[in-house]
């Protein structure tokens, strides 16, 4: 690893990350801001993509192709599907899928297009480092499947469909698209999410209240992982 990308979707997801660094250089490119920092000799680029799969794909590809990042870590929040996940709990994606990708009319399974695959697996050794860090710091984290789609899911019916179809533990709006980009470009990557809501709650129920605390949980854990990776 010579240059690390750290990514979130929303400003609230990278604010707690940026608070760990001084001497931040801001580069504006493609209608976005990229924050360049140095940490214990490692060059890091931090950015929030904006919400959704298209913006996440653009940002991930930019961090790899324009900024030369060779490893990508994603930190953010997600809606819980697995009943074991409570608000604030952490989940590492072992694989991700796009729950709203649907050409089933042509006989393909949900989440699949020709030339692609339903599930993209994350990088095993990065997950192993994250689990080691969690164990050493008494942090509770699970590994599981994360489903991505371009809508904020707040209906029980939709949540049940995603759970049944993909056996997903959590859902969000960026991870699988980042996974597709990193997988295609052979860049090791890792997706970490903290639960900010359960997916069948009323959409306005508690999202803003829990967004910041959950984002901080994710970011604080991610910084510990970065320290371990630098060792």
Q: What are the residue numbers of the active site?
A: 13, 197
22 Rama sector, left if φ>0, alpha if ψ -120 to 50, beta otherwise: beta
* C-alpha separations of 180 from 51, 83, 98, 159 in Å: 16, 27, 10, 23
Tokens 């997801």 sit on residue? 13
The answer to whether the Cα torsion of 22, 27, 32, 37 is positive or negative is negative
Instruction: State the Cα–Cα distance between residues 69 and 104, nearest whole angstrom.
Output: 36
Q: Read off the tokens for 214.
A: 């959950």
Q: Read off the tokens for 9.
A: 């979707």
Instruction: State the Cα–Cα distance between residues 91 and 109, nearest whole angstrom.
Output: 26
Instruction: Phi first, then psi: give them for residue 23, nearest 5 degrees.
Output: 50, 60
């Amino acid at each position: 690893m010579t240059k690390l990308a750290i990514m979130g979707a929303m400003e609230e997801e990278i604010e707690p990350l940026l608070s760990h660094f001084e001497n931040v250089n801001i580069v504006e490119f493609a209608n976005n801001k990229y924050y360049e920092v140095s940490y214990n000799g490692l060059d890091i680029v931090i950015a929030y993509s904006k919400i959704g799969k298209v913006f996440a794909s653009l940002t991930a590809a930019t961090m790899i192709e324009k900024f030369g990042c060779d490893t990508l870590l994603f930190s953010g929040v997600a809606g819980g599907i697995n009943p074991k996940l409570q608000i604030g709990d952490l989940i590492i994606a072992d694989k991700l899928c796009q729950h709203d990708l649907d050409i089933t009319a042509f006989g393909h399974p949900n989440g699949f297009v020709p030339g692609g695959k339903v599930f993209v697996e994350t990088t095993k050794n990065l997950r192993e480092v994250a689990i080691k860090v969690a164990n050493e710091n008494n942090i509770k984290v699970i590994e599981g499947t994360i489903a991505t789609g371009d809508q904020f899911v707040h209906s029980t019916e939709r949540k049940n469909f995603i759970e049944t179809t993909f056996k997903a533990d959590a859902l969000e709006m960026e991870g699988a698209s980042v996974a597709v980009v990193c997988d295609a470009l052979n860049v090791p990557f890792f997706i970490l999410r903290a639960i900010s809501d359960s997916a069948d709650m009323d959409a306005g129920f508690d999202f803003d209240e829990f967004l910041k605390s959950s984002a901080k949980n994710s970011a604080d854990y991610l910084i510990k992982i970065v320290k371990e990776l630098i060792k």
